[in-house]
Amino acid sequence: MPTQIVVAGAIIRDHTVLVAQRARPPELAGRWELPGGKVAADETEPAALARELAEELGLETSDVAVAGRLGGDVAVSATMTLRAYRVRLLGGQPQPHDHHALRWVTAAELDEVDWVAADRAWLPDLLRALS
């Protein structure tokens, strides 16, 4: 069985990163993550991330510029790998279409966030990116 790649976006603005509060599934609801989603078979990872951010945050795909990777791969399970990318917000105002809430977090606040377990792996990389 091939590995499902899930991409997440670290949208960084003014030394803060946008985090999204999960609405589902029940075991993750209320916890925070970098927004993103699954890569379809016919998509590149950057294209999938731009699409997912448009769907989840109500942005246009032209509102985001997906840049280089942030940190390494995170194995969520034997069949799912999570990858994060740096993202620049070029326009639009993110809205929580698929989440309970959104918030901009500073480097000092990163450890105070109730992260989903997989996204915690990127905290050192986020700290460096926000410095």
On whether residue 123 sits in a domain, the answer given is no
Per-residue pLDDT at 40? 97
Number of domains observed in the structure of the chain: 1
Mean of the per-residue pLDDT values of the chain: 96
pLDDT tens per residue, range 38-85: 999 999 999 999 999 999 999 999 999 999 999 999 999 999 999 999
Beta strands in the chain (DSSP E): 4-13, 16-22, 32-33, 36-38, 64-77, 80-89, 99-106
pTM: 0.95
Per-residue pLDDT at 57? 97
- Residues 94-98: what's their mean pLDDT? 95
On whether residue 24 sits in a domain, the answer given is yes
Q: Is 23 exposed, middle or buried (0-12, 13-18, 19+ CB in 10 A)?
A: middle
The domain in which residue 37 lies consists of 4-118
- What the block records as the tokens of 42 is 């016919």
Count of CB atoms situated within 10 Å of the CB of 94: 21
